[in-house]
Chain A
Amino acid sequence: MRRGLLAWSEKETPKAALEARVARVQAAMKAQGFDALLAYTNFPRPATVSYLTHFIPYWNQGLMVMGQEGLPTILVALSNRVRGWALETCHVEDVVCTPRIGADAAKVVKGFADEIKKIGVVDADRLPNGLAQPFRQLFGGIELVDATDLYTTARSPADGPEIELTRHAAAIADAAIDEARTHGFERASALIGVIDGAARRAAAEEVQIAVAPDLVQGTDFRRFEGDAALGATYAVRVTVAYKGFWVRRTASLSRGEAPASWADAAARLRAVTTGLGTGAELSDRMNSTFKHWSAVGPVGGHPLADLADQAAKYRRIGAGSVVSLSVNTDLSDGPWLGGGAVHLAAKPGGTAQLLFA
C-alpha cells in the first residue's frame, strides 16, 4: 500500500495548475468528440488520476470520470469514513465512496450530456471488465474507446508544478542515497533501511528500493525478503514518488575507495543526458555511449513505464517531458550502474536538465 505522505499542498500544486491540466484534456475531448473520459486508478497505477486531480488511493481501486466541462469526479472503493481525507487530498467535483464503482460512475457520466455517444478510457485495455460492464449496460452496448494517446498528448510538456515536484522527488532520492554513502554497510537490509527511512522522513509518498548486492558477482537488482551480504561494490535502484511524481535514481556504491573509473562513467552519463535535447534522438545518443540502458516515464496510469532501451523504442517520448534513465556499463575495473531523472527540452535546440546530483 501507499504509506508515505499523501497530502495536497496548494502551494506546491495550485488549483489553477490542476484546472489547466483538466482544461487541456477537455479541449482534446471536444476536438475528438468524446462526451466522457474515464481513468482507472489504484496505487500501482495512479499517474493519470493524480496528474489531473492530485488524488492517490492508498489502497483499493477507483475510477475518475470527467465530462467536457467541469472538474472530474472520483469514485473509489474505500470506506465513506475516509471521504473527508480523500477530499482534502485532491481538487475534484466530488469523491464518491462506493463498492459499486462501475455502476455509480456510469450514472455520473449519464449526467454529462443528454446523449452519451462516445466514452474514452485512458489505458482502456487495463480497465477491469467488471467496471466496464455497467457502462455497456447503461449506454446500450457503447464501445469504450482507448483515449491514452489523447491524454498523453495533452500531458506534455511538463508544467511548472510537475517539474518542481519531480525535482523535489529527485532531491529526496539523492539525499537518501547520500545518507547511505556515509555508512559502511555490510548487509543489504541495513542499506535499504537507511535509504527507506531517510526518504520517508523527507515526506516521500513512495519509496521502492532494489539492490544489486555485489557488482563482482552480477548486476541484477533484487528486492530483498530477508538479507544478503554486500560486496565491496554494489548498486541501489531507488524509486521515489513525491506528490504524484516519480523518479528513479540508480547509484553504484562502494565500501571502501570507489573504483577510479566510476567518476569518468558518471561524467559520460551527465554529458550524454544533457545533450539529449527534446529526446527525439534519445535512443541513438544513448546507444552511442552505453551498451545497456533504459528510459522510463509516465504512460497513462503507469508512473514509470518502459519508454525505450538499447533494444527497442516502446513508447513515444514527449518533448518537454521528464524521463528517468538507467545505464549499466562494463569498465576496466568492473561494472558501473547509474542514472537519474532528466527534464527534456520542450523545443528543438533546448538543453535537457539533469534532475539528479
Chain B
Amino acid sequence: MSIHDERKAKLTQVLSGAGLDCVVLFGNAWQNDYLRYSTDFAIVEGDGFAVFHRDGAAQLFLESSAEAQRAKVECPTVEVTFAPDLVEAIAGHVKRLGNRAIGQAPLAVMPMGLAALAAGSKLEDATALFDRCMFIKTPAEIDAVRRATKIAEDGYEIFRDASRPGRTEYQVIAEVEAYFRDRGCPENFQIMGSGGVEMMGMHPPSDRKLKAGDLVTTELTPCIDGYYSQICRTLVIGEPTKAQQSAYAVFVEAMEAGKKMLKPGVTAADVAHAENDVFRAHGLGEYTTAKYTRVRGHGMGLFVDGVPAILEDVETVLEENVTVIVHPNTYHPEVGYVVVGDSMVVTKGGSEMLGSFTSELQTVGA
C-alpha cells in the first residue's frame, strides 16, 4: 500500500468515527500539509482547497492554472478544478454539499471569505482530527522521514564543503539546493548563520561573505515524498578555538540528554527540561529562554515545524511512531549562536536516531 493509500484509509476511518461526511481543507506552499495528506498534491503556487469525502474521493480547487494542470497529471485519482476565483468556487461547492456534516481545517488560516460566502453552511472544526492523523506516523511515513534524513546528512556534507572563505551565504546554499534537485528532492527548509558572538540566531542566506574563524550554523531540512527531516550542525572555518570546542560540547551533551529522555509517555516538556538542565548545570540557564532561543526541538512530518514544540511548558505526550528533532540550539555568550540536532522516531521501548551523522564539531579549511 502506498503512503497516500495508507493516509486515505486512515482518513476515511477518522471521518467515519467523527460522523463527518467530508472535510474542506485549505493550503498553500507554506501550510501544505493538510492538502498533501488528503490528496498527495504538493502545491507550489497560489492557494488551494481540497474536499476529502468519507468514501475516499477527493477534489482539488486550485487558483493557478499551471498548478491545476500539474495536479491532473500528478494526482490522477483526484478531481481537479482550476478556480481563478478560488474562494467563490469552494464556497459554492460547500453550499451544494447541502446539509451534510462538513469539517474544515486548518482553522487558524482558513480564509475569511469562505466563512462569509458559505454563511449558512455549518463547518465544524476538524483541525484536531487531522493533526492527530499527522502526529502518529505509519511505517511508510517513518520510512519517508528516514529517507529524508539520509539526504539531509548527504546535503550537510555538501554544505560543509561549500562553506569556504569568500563565498556568500546564498552561494553556499545554492550548492546544497542544486545537489538536492539533482537527487530528486524538490523542497528544503534551510536557514543559516555565520560569524561570531554577534550572531544571535539564524536567518535565510544573506550576501555576507564567510571568513576564517567563523562559526557557520545551519538547519537543513529536505523533503522526500512530502516528508521533512532535519539535521542541525555547526562548523568552524579553520581550527576551532578552545572556547568554540567547549561551548559546542555543552550543546552535544544537551542534545544527548534530550534524546535519552525521548520515549513513549514522556511529554515534550520532559525532553525540553532534560536539554535545558544541561545548560543550567553549566551556568547557561539564561540562554534557554525565549530571549535567546525559540524551541528545543519540534515535530516533523508533512510540516517542517510540526507539533509538538519541545518547550518546558508544552505537555503534549509523546507516543510511539512520533517523529521529532531534538535541537538545543541557542546563543552561547562566548562564541555566538550554536546548533546541533538529530532527527528521531519514538519507538516502543524508547527512541531511535533516524540518521547516523557524527555530532562532532565540523571543520573546514580556512
Contacts and interface: CB of A to CB of B under 8 A. Distances in A.
Contacts of B178: 193-194, 196-198, 200
B47 A223 contact: no
Interface stretch (A16-24, A224-232, A268-276): A224-232
B186 A224 contact: yes
Contacts of A81: 200-201, 292, 294
B110 A128 contact: yes
Nearest to A203: B170
A110 interface: no
Contacts of A125: 87-88, 111-114, 116-117
A40 B30 CA distance: 13
Interface in B215-259: 224-226
B30 A61 contact: yes
B240 to A, nearest CB: 24
Contacts of B186: 223-225
Contacts of B294: 79, 81
Contact of B174 (A84, A197, A296): A197
Contacts, number: 192
Given A4-B205, A196-B178, A223 B74 contact: yes
Contacts of B170: 4-5, 200-201, 203
A225 B184 contact: yes
Interface stretch (B8-16, B61-69, B266-274, B315-323): B61-69
Nearest to B84: A314
B230 to A, nearest CB: 12
Contact of A132 (B45, B108, B112, B207): B112
Interface in B89-131: 107-117
B188 A225 contact: no
B35 interface: no
Interface residues of A, number: 65
A304 B67 CA distance: 12
A126 B175 contact: no
Interface stretch (A42-50, A158-166, A258-266, A281-289): A42-50
Size class of the B contact interface (CB-based, 8 Å): 35 or more
Among B181, B205, B292, residue most surrounded by chain A Cβ atoms (within 10 Å):
B181
Interface string A159-200: 000000000000000000000000000000110111111101
B42 interface: yes
Contacts of A224: 184, 186
Among A81, A84, A208, A227, residue most surrounded by chain B Cβ atoms (within 10 Å):
A81
A244 B205 CA distance: 16
A3 B190 contact: yes
Contacts of B114: 125, 129
Contact of A44 (B45, B88, B168): B45
A129 B112 contact: yes
A139 interface: no
B207 A5 contact: yes
B70 A3 contact: no
Contact of B201 (A79, A208, A221, A237): A79
B111 A201 contact: no
B203 interface: yes
Contacts of B111: 125-129
Interface in A1-17: 1-7
Given A6-B204, A43-B29, A309 B112 contact: no
A126 B200 contact: no
Given A195-B181, A200-B178, A294-B65, 4 more contacts: A59-B189, A80-B290, A194-B178, A203-B170
21 contacts: A1-B304, A4-B204, A6-B204, A44-B45, A45-B46, A60-B30, A79-B201, A81-B294, A126-B113, A128-B109, A128-B110, A129-B114, A195-B181, A197-B181, A201-B170, A220-B72, A221-B73, A224-B186, A225-B226, A294-B65, A305-B46
Leading 6 A-B pairs by shortest Cβ distance = A125-B113, A197-B178, A193-B182, A200-B174, A81-B201, A193-B181
